[in-house]
């Protein structure tokens, strides 16, 4: 314990844990802080498991619902619809799950604890990075559950286990990329409910105006044009190709390219807006 | 000679403007290391905003501040290594338990997994939170939350601790516990800068006090200096016989040279006490004239009176025309700096 007395010897000031004072945070510290913040995110999930409803119950219900609702009408039978719908539901569920990143970030930033984070000598970016990191766990849960549901309903993907895992990873990567959009809304919006509002406005056209649930063949030409250009469609096709036939196609690369573009645009925007507030 | 680290806080002309509102309008503060400094002011006076700027949470719009000689803007990250902040609203994670909160803050401060655990146990013990350690904070009382908040600020044993209204909303017992904790921190060598709306709290804890109102420091000094700046003590007498009132007043005028006030209840006299030395003369004169007293007391001005006089919100609230922020620099700044 350092004793500070104004009259005696000048105290030697050190940072926490006796480290010398430094005015910058190193890369390794930044990574450590981000992982600690991600750990915090996971602890919060464990404390409030109801947060996971959108990535646990929803994939089960949606898979059941859409499969039996559309199966006969769209593909002639449930069994024929499964290879189409499971990748579609998978993409839709996981991407929907990424909206939560934004709302939770907003809620977090409004709370008192955020003031403490700001007063700590940690990397400014850590709370944001931690949130984005922790949410990949949510995507993994949603992915596993949807794929398992598909398997239970009788889906036997031709690509085999390895390619199904690869397809799952592809979805998680793309959802993570999209979560930057919602994180951006989370940083700039005034309230958590407005984040949710804006996010769903972006999300619904993206996920439903795609080939996730129906083949695009019957769509009016303008809609077809949108649905086929939609990066979500490429993602869905990429997942179908991987899981059902074990093929790595152009769709996969287009989906990854789309994800890359989103990150390239929204990561700097989000970080800049975030740092201004942090 | 003073070296930079003799001063825990030095702030010059801090300004923070929110839209039209000059929340902090040119605040100067100097806090000597190893002391408790109280920033006293009513709600909305700019106390929290000042703390936020000193704690690197807000960027000052003008002015400068250093913490142990380190600039709060240019060396923010260094400053953050030297301070602990307990904000007005509990800055802990509501959804997590006390243990989880402290572990996460410890880890963020660079403690190893094992050290974080040891430190957490230690602090929980110290703040009487061991029993409740694994409960989620939603079930914590206001006092427990405050204690946890303070514990979280002490993990890194920072040399300077900011406490923003540490006892607002606490019951008297919890408040005195908090006061004991703050006193202990200082004996352990920390510097404490606290804000409060409670005059008693500043009086009890702070070595020096700055009275702040509408974003400006209106007075600064020890609590004694502040009290004497407002007025001298007064001598209060109760006479045995009401008929002695008139001769007693004459004596006070001739011996002390001041005019005494007679309170409505007959036989009570209040006289300003400018020179305590002359009181003996007065009492001798009373005895010679056969004037008997039933009660004698000396009333010092309370900080309440100081506060009201200085901020002008009190007894003689001045009805000066509010010419707004335009005349920002014409404010009378009463300095009682010895």
- Euclidean distance between CA atoms B270 and B239, whole angstroms: 11
Q: What is the pLDDT of residue A33?
A: 95
Residue count (chain A): 278
A13: chain B residues, CB-CB within 8 Å: 5, 68, 82, 159
Confidence of residue A274 (pLDDT cuts 50, 70, 90): confident
Q: Which residue in A has a C-alpha nearest to residue B7's C-alpha?
A: A6
In chain A, where the domains are located: 27-277
Rounded to the nearest angstrom, the minimum Cα separation between B33 and chain A is: 6
Confidence of residue B28 (pLDDT cuts 50, 70, 90): very high
CB spacing of A36 vs B136 below 8 angstroms = no
Rounded to the nearest angstrom, the minimum Cα separation between B107 and chain A is: 7
Dihedral, B270, B271, B275, B278 alpha carbons, nearest 10: -90
| Paired tokens of B13 | 């002309």
Q: Indicate whether A5 pLDDT > 70.
A: no
**What DSSP line would sit under B238-305, residue for residue?**
EESSGGGHHHHHHHHHHHH-SPPEE-SSTTEEEEE-S-GGGHHHHHHHHHHTT--EEEEEEEPPPHHH
Q: Which H or E element spans position B8?
A: strand B7-18
Q: Indicate whether B90 pLDDT > 80.
A: no
- Euclidean distance between CA atoms B186 and B137, whole angstroms: 28
Question: What pLDDT digit, counting tens, does each position of A11-42 carry?
Answer: 557 766 667 888 888 999 999 999 999 999 99
Taking a C-beta distance cutoff of 8 angstroms, is the pair B8, A2 a contact? no
Q: Which domains, ranges and CATH numbers included, belong to chain B?
A: 4-82+158-228 (3.40.50.300), 232-299 (3.30.70.100)
> Average of pLDDT values for A229-244?
93
Q: What is the pLDDT of residue A92?
A: 92
The partner residue sitting opposite B109, judged by closest CB among A2, A5, A17, is A17
Question: What pLDDT digit, counting tens, does each position of B220-258 carry?
Answer: 999 888 877 766 778 888 888 888 888 888 888 888 888
The partner residue sitting opposite B109, judged by closest CB among A16, A40, A44, is A16
B59: chain A residues, CB-CB within 8 Å: none
Confidence of residue B73 (pLDDT cuts 50, 70, 90): very high
B95: chain A residues, CB-CB within 8 Å: 44, 47-48
Q: What is the pLDDT of residue B139?
A: 84
Confidence of residue B335 (pLDDT cuts 50, 70, 90): very low
| Paired tokens of A115 | 């003031």
Sheet order of strands, B21-32 included: B21-32, B7-18, B62-67, B70-71
Rounded to the nearest angstrom, the minimum Cα separation between B150 and chain A is: 11
Higher pLDDT, residue B174 or A155? A155
Q: What is the pLDDT of residue B203?
A: 87
């Amino acid at each position: 314990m350092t004793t500070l007395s104004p009259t005696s010897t000048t105290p030697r000031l050190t940072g926490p844990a006796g480290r010398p004072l430094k005015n910058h945070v190193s890369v390794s510290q930044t990574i450590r802080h981000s992982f600690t913040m991600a750990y915090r995110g996971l602890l919060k999930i464990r404390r409030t498991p109801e947060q996971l409803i959108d990535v646990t119950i929803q994939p089960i219900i949606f898979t059941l619902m859409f499969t039996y609702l559309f199966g006969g009408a769209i593909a002639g039978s449930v069994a024929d619809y499964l290879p189409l719908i499971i990748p579609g539901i998978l993409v839709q569920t996981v991407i929907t799950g990424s909206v939560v990143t934004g709302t939770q970030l907003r809620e977090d930033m409004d709370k008192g604890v955020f003031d403490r984070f700001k007063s700590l000598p940690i990397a400014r970016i850590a709370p944001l990075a931690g949130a984005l990191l922790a949410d990949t766990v949510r995507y993994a849960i949603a992915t596993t559950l949807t794929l398992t549901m598909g398997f239970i309903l009788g889906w036997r993907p031709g690509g085999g286990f390895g390619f199904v895992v690869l397809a799952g990873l592809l979805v998680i990567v793309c959802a993570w990329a999209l979560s930057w959009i919602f994180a951006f809304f989370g940083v700039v919006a005034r309230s958590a409910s407005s984040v949710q509002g804006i996010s769903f406005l972006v999300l619904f056209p993206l996920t439903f105006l795609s080939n996730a649930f129906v083949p695009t063949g019957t769509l009016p030409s303008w809609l077809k044009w949108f649905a086929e250009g939609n990066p979500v469609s490429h993602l869905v096709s990429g997942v179908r190709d991987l899981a059902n036939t074990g093929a790595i196609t152009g769709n996969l690369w287009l989906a990854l390219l789309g994800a890359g573009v989103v990150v390239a645009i929204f990561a700097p925007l989000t970080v800049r807006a975030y740092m201004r507030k942090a | 000679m003073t070296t930079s680290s003799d001063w825990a806080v030095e702030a010059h002309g801090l300004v923070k403007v929110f839209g039209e509102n000059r929340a902090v309008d040119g605040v100067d503060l100097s806090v000597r290391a190893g002391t408790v400094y109280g920033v006293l002011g009513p709600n909305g006076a700019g106390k929290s905003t000042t703390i936020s700027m000193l704690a690197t949470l807000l960027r000052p719009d003008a002015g400068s501040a250093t913490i142990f000689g380190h600039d709060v803007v240019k060396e923010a990250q260094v400053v953050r290594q030297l301070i602990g902040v307990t904000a007005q609203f509990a800055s802990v994670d509501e959804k997590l338990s006390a243990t989880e909160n402290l572990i996460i803050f410890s880890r963020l401060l660079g403690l190893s997994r094992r050290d974080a655990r040891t430190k957490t146990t230690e602090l929980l013990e110290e703040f009487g939170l061991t029993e409740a350690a694994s409960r989620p904070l939603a079930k914590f009382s206001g006092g427990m939350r405050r204690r946890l908040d303070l514990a979280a600020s002490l993990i890194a044993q920072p040399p300077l601790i900011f406490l923003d209204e540490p006892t607002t909303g606490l019951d008297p017992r919890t408040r005195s516990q908090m006061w004991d904790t703050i006193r202990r921190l200082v004996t352990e060598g920390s510097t404490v800068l606290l804000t409060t709306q409670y005059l008693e709290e500043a009086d009890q804890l702070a070595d020096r006090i700055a009275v702040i109102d509408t974003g400006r420091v209106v007075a600064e000094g020890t609590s004694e200096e502040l009290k004497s700046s407002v007025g001298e003590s007064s001598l209060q007498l109760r006479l045995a016989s009401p008929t002695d009132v008139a001769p007693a007043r004459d004596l006070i005028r001739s011996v002390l040279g001041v005019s005494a006030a007679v309170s409505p209840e007959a036989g009570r006299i209040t006289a300003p006490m400018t020179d305590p030395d002359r009181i003996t003369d007065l009492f001798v004169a009373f005895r010679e004239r056969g004037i008997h007293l039933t009660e004698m007391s000396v009333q010092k001005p309370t900080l309440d009176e100081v506060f009201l006089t200085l901020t002008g919100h009190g007894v003689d609230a001045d009805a000066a025309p509010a010419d707004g922020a335009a005349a920002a620099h014409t404010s009378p700044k009463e300095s009682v700096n010895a």
